[in-house]
């Protein structure tokens, strides 16, 4: 990292430190009211801890193994340029390539109102393997915005090739919850979903989602937000999105979690993934030279405070 960036980070009270995940650095930001960490491996926002509270994001103790496409379940993985399995090439990893490469810090500073701004980037030219996995040239950016109220991610994908690019994607947030059986997700009532754990059956959501257990659902034409209510931590996470058609809910449940070697047996009890996504029939085209944006905003509130 160059001296200017080091200085910008220092001025922010931030630091860069070596991390164990794929021996790749992470950026730490310590501010009055919160602490945040970004893993440059995969460009995951790893952790956001408001002072005096538990992390908003889940991190598995299991680092996921050493393989090139092994993955750790934590923070906010970026699934891009495909969501789920690759349509034609079964040897390519689930959920695209962006979470398997080292992103680069390109800016550290503040927004006008004092919120912290961190910008990271991944481009197709950064690694020969990326160009093998996805032949069209691109540049991805994530602009993180932090304040004591919560965090925002503005993800953008620029198509640098001369052909339209067909994309599916997600910001696959692992929200940390005290207990998945008592957690409730509100705001998706009345929305139709495809249930991947029930032969892709189309079902209408009746009431809030609870328990958040053994779920693999794609809510189609989902509203631009939902709330995660956690009675154990006495807090509510207010999630707002822009640029996504779907909300995906995922929790593997006890049986599947036990089968996985990249997850501890009890991990599923402490997270629910609520993902801002464009998947299934909502893949989209970025025109040649065009840019697409996907935005996520998360605010934490005490449970007894009404909006």
Residues that bind ligand BG6 (CB under 6 A): 71, 94-95, 172, 196, 216, 248, 250, 275
Q: Where are the alpha helices (H) located in the chain, listed in sequence order?
A: 3-11, 128-133, 253-259
Backbone angles phi, psi at 68, to 5 degrees: -55, -40
Residues contacting 185, CB < 8 A, separation 6+? 208, 209, 210, 212, 226, 227, 228, 229, 249, 272, 274
Is residue 176 part of the annotated active site? The answer reads no
CB of 296 to ligand BG6, least distance (A): 15
| Closer residue to ligand BG6, CB minimum distance, 51 or 94 | 94
CB of 58 to ligand BG6, least distance (A): 12
Sheet holding 192-195, edge to edge: 78-79, 169-176, 271-278, 246-251, 215-219, 192-195, 201-204
Catalytic residue among 8, 169, 184, 275: 275
Is residue 172 part of the annotated active site? The answer reads yes
Q: How would you classify residue 234: left for phi > 0, otherwise alpha for psi between -120 and 50, otherwise beta? A: left
Residue nearest to ligand BG6 (CB): 94
| Closer residue to ligand BG6, CB minimum distance, 145 or 260 | 260
Catalytic residue among 172, 176, 270, 300: 172
CB of 279 to ligand BG6, least distance (A): 8
Which H or E run contains 185?
strand 184-186
CA distance 275 to 173: 6
| Closer residue to ligand BG6, CB minimum distance, 8 or 275 | 275
CB of 96 to ligand BG6, least distance (A): 10
CB of 157 to ligand BG6, least distance (A): 18
| Closer residue to ligand BG6, CB minimum distance, 14 or 64 | 64
- N-to-C CA span, the chain: 42
- DSSP state letters, 8-63: HHHHTTEEEEE-SGGG-EEEEEEETTEEEEEETBTTEEEEEEETTS--SB-B-S--
| Closer residue to ligand BG6, CB minimum distance, 94 or 200 | 94
| Closer residue to ligand BG6, CB minimum distance, 78 or 286 | 78
User: If we measure between CA atoms, which residue out of 264, 236, 283 comes closest to residue 87?
Assistant: 283
Helix (H, G, I), strand (E, B) or coil at 291: strand
CB of 79 to ligand BG6, least distance (A): 7
- Give the active site residues: 172, 275
């Amino acid at each position: 990292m160059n001296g200017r960036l080091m200085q910008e980070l220092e001025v922010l009270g931030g630091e860069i430190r070596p991390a164990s995940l794929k021996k790749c650095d992470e950026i730490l930001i310590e501010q009055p009211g919160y602490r945040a960490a970004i893993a440059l491996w995969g460009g995951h926002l790893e952790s956001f801890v408001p002072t005096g509270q538990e992390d908003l994001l889940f991190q598995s103790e299991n680092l996921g193994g050493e393989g090139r496409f092994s993955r750790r379940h934590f923070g906010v993985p970026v699934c891009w340029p495909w969501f789920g399995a690759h349509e034609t090439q079964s040897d390519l990893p689930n959920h695209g390539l962006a979470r398997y490469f080292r992103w680069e810090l390109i800016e550290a500073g503040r927004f006008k109102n004092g919120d912290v701004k961190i910008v990271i980037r991944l481009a197709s030219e950064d690694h020969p393997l990326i160009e093998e996995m996805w032949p069209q040239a691109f540049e991805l950016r994530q602009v993180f915005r932090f304040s004591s109220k919560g965090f925002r991610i503005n993800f953008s994908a620029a198509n640098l090739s001369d052909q339209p690019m067909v994309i599916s994607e997600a910001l696959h947030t692992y929200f940390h919850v005290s207990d998945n059986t008592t957690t409730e997700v509100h705001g998706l009532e009345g929305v139709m979903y495809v249930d991947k754990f029930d032969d892709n059956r189309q079902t209408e959501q009746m009431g809030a989602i609870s328990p958040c257990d053994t779920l693999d659902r794609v809510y189609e034409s989902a509203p631009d937000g939902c709330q995660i209510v956690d009675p154990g931590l006495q807090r509510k996470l207010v999630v707002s999105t822009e640029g996504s058609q779907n909300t995906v809910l995922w929790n593997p449940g006890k049986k599947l979690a036990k089968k996985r070697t990249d997850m501890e047996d009890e991990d599923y009890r402490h997270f629910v993934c609520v993902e801002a996504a464009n998947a299934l029939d909502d893949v989209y085209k970025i025109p040649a030279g065009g840019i697409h944006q996907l935005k996520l905003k998360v605010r934490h509130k005490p449970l007894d405070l009404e909006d």
